[in-house]
Chains A and B, each alone.
Chain A
Amino acid sequence: MKIEEFKDFTIQDYHHLLEEKKISPLELIDIFLERIEEGEDKIHAFLFVNEEKAKNEAREKTDNWPEELPPLWGLPVAIKDNICTQGMPTTCGSKMLENFVSPYDATVVERLKAAGAIILGKTNMDEFAMGSSTENSTFGPTHNPLDLRRTPGGSSGGSAASVCALEAPCALGSDTGGSVRQPAAFCGVVGLRPTYGRVPRYGVVGLASSLDQAGPITRKVEDAITILEVISGKDSRDSTCAPYPPFSRNEIPSLEDIRKIKVGVPREYFSSRVEKVIGEKIQEALGKLKGEGVELVEVSLPHTDYALEAYYIVASAEASSNLARYDGVMYGLRVEGEDLQDMYFETRTLGFGKEVKRRIILGTYSLSSGHYDEYYLKSMKVRTLVRKDFEEALKQCNLLITPTTPSFPFFLGEETQDLYERYTDDIFTIPSALAGLPSLSLNCGYEGGLPVGLQIIGGPFEEGKLLGLALWLEKLLALPSPFPELKEGRGQ
């Protein structure tokens, strides 16, 4: 079989192929490894390809074909490099962890493996998940497969690019302020950020503990559902993981009930800062829903404008503390020094890139005595207001639809004078992250070969409704799945 044949495959399709023994796990993994080889020098989605071990696992599975196949049996999965995988590197895109091999698997990885998946490799990311372009990776940026001159987004840029280019059938990323959704939007694929507490964080290297969630990046909504079923559910090793059972597709309402869903359109997300074409594509999609009889309601999220600042304060503060463990003592990079203090300074100065340092400084500043009330405490209060906004809005509707990003993927290496402007790329994904709500991005159209991401936001633990609407909308839109030829310049 050839890779092109998998262009429109869902995970279920691979599963059937394997069930019917039309392909073996080894054959399957070889196809993807070949695709990776073909694409990697142009895309650079992977920091580590698990070639040897993956092949061995696939071989072992091929030799020990069970009666009943677990749901992800033989499926190659790419994992973002800030999620711990035993026996292979977990670098977080940083020099600090360049040679770090985790002695344990993250819960999400354990669960994928238990369901039969094979870890294909670790994907590129902005250093310690700080950034939205993957340009902050110490190991070089990833290129958008749909236009190799452009960014795939970030921080889960590698994961999104690998799925877009079909170097992997699906991937895991992590989303703190949009790091799954924005790259999914930029690469024309599906990215799900689950409700905070839905998916265990044990083994997901902490950036901002009250915001981080691991989530699937897939080619179809159907696959996001399949992955969510496997990775979600309570974990006794994560105090912030809700004590609920894993998500089940039974939570998805019937089409009849989905048609009755009221869709809220928050006016603040359709301001002048949104690029015209993006706004148009979203309106088109909304129009399609309306045409099917779905009620659209205009709502307001009045504190949207303040969410960005509150987010950056909270995220930097938590990050500054979470990154204090990188001190050269027990793992990771160490630069020897004359004395202990010297060692600390040298190690951390060399180990961290500029953006990471910037955020650590910002975070430390926000928490320092004399500034705690002014910044950290204040932003925690703004967080309450943002949450209340969504609570109120979700009383008038069941789900919200917005653009995922205000603009198209920009060119790599584009220098912005205004640092802050780069931060505002995340302006539509941040508020729902602050509020801990589930949100998904799916492609709602192409313009000049570049995708437009549409974001759906739901109420807490209402992934059922959210995925149900997403499934239906995806069908209505009937867009082709990306399969770039990986030539220089435009892809599709």
Chain B
Amino acid sequence: MSDFTTTIGLEVHCQLLTQAKMFCRCSTDYIGKEPNTLVCPVCLGLPGSLPVLNQKVVELALRAALALHCQILPQTLFHRKNYFYPDLPKGYQISQYDLPIGIDGFLEFYSQGVRKKARIRRIHIEEDAGKLVHEGAFLPPGTSGVDCNRCGIPLVEIVTEPDLSSPEEARDCLMMLRNIVCYLEVSDGNMEEGSLRCDANISLSSSSLTGVKVEVKNMNSFRSVYRALSYEVERQRKLLEEGKPVFQETRHWDEIKGVTVSARGKEEAEDYRYFPDPDLLPFSLKTEMIEEIKSGLLELPLEKEERFMTQYELSQGEAEILVQDREIADFFEDTLRNFNKPRMVCNWIVTEVFRNLKELGTTISRAKITPSHLAELLKMVDRKEISGTMAKSVLEEMFTSGARAREIVTRRGMALINDEKELENIVKEVIEKNPQSVADYLSGKEKALQFLIGQVMKETRGQADPELTRNILIKVLSSEE
């Protein structure tokens, strides 16, 4: 059949990391709080209340816009988006319409090892709405409850052009976007908690058929994004192959059933009657401020990833894992300052360090281990003062106690025995105790050598340097001949 081209665009909302809300001084720390306790006349939309803009919101949004290479408009202003809903106290949302904070940017990322680019159409700021609950013991029957703690939390909305050509790309693009906002400390980018949310537009087209845009909502994790869009590609492909029409509509992703379901909209499209909010003056984003933020922008995930690849000769996959979390990337580089073997450090971080962090349920910044601690440990491994297996155990203790490697090794007597004289004695002992194996080895059975090495290991409780042991064994055995 004909080949179809997939076209995907993303619309991403991020909650901004401010202490106070967008237009009032209420705290943004609403998770787990009693309903309607972090509120004031402004975010409740009481008669006579007025909005005043939180400076930090502009800073953070600008940071994001600049990092995404957007053109910053000389003047920006707020518009009202008018509609009725219980979680919208004023009956309108303060948002931006035709003068958003940034336009025409782009985002680069890796997808399946290939460097990709997605253009950013616009980035704008708007306030969040409240929370609705539909279930709960306290709810009288037949009702829903409104909690305004979340009203007025600042959001940034990022819209990409439909430049993504597969569900993988969409997911990878989203992940890079998330990394960027996390790196910038603009948002904590948590999809599960709702501080990062993604909607997508997807269409399939061919040489003979123009695509029909379908909006997909309710994807609550990176995996959902991938699954939902993959499902959509298949669904639309099937329809088109059967010559059936694809409707332009909004579909909801059902995580449990693994399908998208049509959410047929109202017959009458909502008319939001956007107009400039007269309670908030237009303001200009000064060049000094823009320059200051630009120069303060730290190295972004992609730059870091590519630098790691060239500077440390890591593979794209390795680099990618390290830069996901800026703190891990920093930890990696800090370790290298004391122990300059990138591949080894990388390997230890992505296996053992990650494992320990996961088991303890903590993050690298809160962990008891420091980069110099890790470096010290790895130096010992590198110098064969301890074996790799020993080191894993030492690391575990370092994580739980915060003690240093050397101290642990000494205390637990784990030092690798690499004293030739000492080893030789042990080897001779083992040879004496195992005449059959010796005979086997001397008659050509390589396996017997392994057995003998194992016995030396047993004798030394794993502390014998394996390579040295091997060499000594061979030397002694050959002299036996």
Contacts and interface: CB of A to CB of B under 8 A. Distances in A.
Interface of A: 83-84, 90, 92, 97, 100, 102-104, 106, 201-206, 208-210, 236-240, 317-318, 321, 323-327, 329-331, 340, 344, 364, 367-369, 372, 376
B52 A327 contact: no
A317 B280 CA distance: 16
A325 B280 contact: no
Interface in B89-132: 89-92
A204 B48 CA distance: 5
B379 to A, nearest CB: 57
A324 B80 CA distance: 12
B275 A321 contact: yes
Contacts of B146: 329-330
From B86, B92, B146, name the one whose CB has the most chain A CB atoms within 10 angstroms: B86
Contact of A203 (B45, B48, B89): B48
B47 A239 contact: no
Contacts of A90: 47-48
A300 to B, nearest CB: 29
27 contacts: A84-B47, A92-B47, A100-B47, A104-B41, A202-B48, A202-B50, A206-B47, A237-B52, A238-B50, A239-B52, A239-B279, A240-B50, A317-B275, A318-B278, A321-B80, A321-B82, A321-B92, A324-B82, A324-B91, A325-B47, A327-B86, A329-B86, A329-B89, A330-B44, A364-B273, A367-B275, A369-B271
B91 A321 contact: yes
Given A90-B47, A202-B50, A239 B92 contact: no
Interface residues of B, number: 28
B48 A240 contact: no
B50 A324 contact: no
B476 interface: no
Contacts of B82: 321, 324, 367
A209 B280 CA distance: 10
Contact of A206 (B48, B53, B89, B275): B48
A90 B271 CA distance: 32
B41 A325 contact: no
Interface string B44-70: 111111111100000000000000000
A239 B89 contact: no
A325 B91 contact: yes
B201 to A, nearest CB: 21
A240 B90 contact: no
Contacts of B84: 324, 327, 344
Contacts of A330: 44-45, 89, 146, 148
A239 B53 contact: yes
B47 A97 contact: yes
A187 to B, nearest CB: 25
A368 B50 contact: no
B75 to A, nearest CB: 15
A367 B272 CA distance: 9
Contacts of B45: 325, 330
A262 B53 CA distance: 41
B297 interface: no
Majority SS of interface residues in chain A?
loop
Nearest to A210: B278
From B51, B53, B90, B281, name the one whose CB has the most chain A CB atoms within 10 angstroms: B90
A104 B280 contact: no
Contact of B48 (A106, A317, A376): A106
B381 to A, nearest CB: 60
Nearest to A348: B84
Contact of A372 (B89, B275, B279, B280): B275
Interface string B254-280: 000000000000000001010100111
A372 B281 CA distance: 20
B41 A103 contact: yes
A157 to B, nearest CB: 20
A372 B271 CA distance: 11
A103 B46 contact: yes
Contacts of B41: 103-104
A293 to B, nearest CB: 42
A144 to B, nearest CB: 28
Contact of A325 (B52, B53, B89, B271): B89
Contacts of B52: 236-239
From B50, B52, B82, B279, name the one whose CB has the most chain A CB atoms within 10 angstroms: B50
B48 A205 contact: yes
A25 B41 CA distance: 32
Contacts of B48: 83-84, 90, 102, 106, 201-206
B86 A325 contact: no
Interface string B139-162: 000000010100000000000000
Given A209-B278, A239-B279, A327 B47 contact: no
Given A202-B50, A210-B278, A367-B275, 20 more contacts: A100-B47, A104-B46, A204-B48, A236-B52, A237-B50, A240-B278, A240-B279, A240-B281, A318-B278, A321-B92, A324-B82, A325-B45, A325-B47, A325-B90, A327-B91, A329-B89, A330-B89, A330-B146, A364-B273, A369-B271
B172 to A, nearest CB: 37
A324 B49 CA distance: 14
B92 A324 contact: yes
A340 B278 contact: no
B281 A102 contact: no
Contacts of B273: 321, 364, 367-369, 372
The 4 closest A-B pairs by CB, nearest first: A324-B91, A367-B273, A209-B278, A210-B278
Contacts of B86: 327, 329, 340
B133 to A, nearest CB: 14
From B82, B92, B273, name the one whose CB has the most chain A CB atoms within 10 angstroms: B273
B461 to A, nearest CB: 71
Given A240-B279, A240-B281, A325-B89, A201 B47 contact: no
Contacts of B46: 102-104, 331
A205 B279 CA distance: 12
Contacts of A364: 273
Contacts of A367: 82, 273, 275
Given A104-B41, A367-B273, A239 B91 contact: no
Contacts of B80: 321
